[in-house]
Amino acid sequence: MSPFLFAVGLQGLVIFIDEFYFHHQRGLPRWERIGHPVDSFSTFIALFFLAMAPRSPSNEIIFIGLAIASSLCVTKDEWVHSKICGPAEMWLHAVLFVLHPVVLITAMNERENQPLLILGASSAIFIFMIYQIVYWNFIASQIPVPIEIKT
């Protein structure tokens, strides 16, 4: 099994647990309904660029910039999450923060051997982003959010 496939599969599993257990259990306030698709988009654009752009020194620099921006983007809300998430969800977020750069680094290392796998992963992330936008902003937005601020 390729390191990229292992890393992205593990990341997908952890995101699945975060999304369908924790998020559905507590609901998402508006800032998360907007912020989570932004996180997904930052990951998608980095992987999509890597899969589609020809290998060159300038494109590698662009990808590294996209990867750094994405890695910072996914951590942007954690200071607020600490007020509404329990310890288990916070730990899961920490695991995601560790896996995120691993996915991007292994993708860069395997771009020559696994371009279709990287393109497939970026497509799956794009589909997940569309789900996040539609479900949380149009379907679940009609459901009151039972947010309890943790102190």
Residues of the chain above pLDDT 70, percent:
94
What would the pLDDT profile of 71-104 be if each residue is shown by its tens digit? 999 999 888 888 899 999 999 999 999 999 999 9
What would the pLDDT profile of 126-140 be if each residue is shown by its tens digit? 999 999 999 999 998
Asked, for residue 151, whether it belongs to a domain, the answer is: no
- Per the structure, the complete domain to which residue 72 belongs is given by 3-142
pLDDT at 142 over 90: no
Q: Total structural domains in the chain?
A: 1
Asked, for residue 91, whether it belongs to a domain, the answer is: yes
Burial 97-116 (b: 16+ CB within 10 A, else e): eebbebbbebbbebbeebee
pLDDT at 151 over 50: no
Asked, for residue 150, whether it belongs to a domain, the answer is: no
Task: Tell me whether residue 31 is exposed, middle or buried, using C-beta atoms within 10 angstroms of its C-beta: 0 to 12, 13 to 18, 19 or more.
Answer: exposed
Please name the residues in contact with 145: beta carbons below 8 A apart, sequence gap of 6 or more.
26, 27, 28, 29
Asked, for residue 13, whether it belongs to a domain, the answer is: yes
Residues of the chain above pLDDT 90, percent:
84
Task: Please give the span between the terminal C-alpha atoms of the chain, in angstroms, as a whole number.
Answer: 43
Asked, for residue 117, whether it belongs to a domain, the answer is: yes
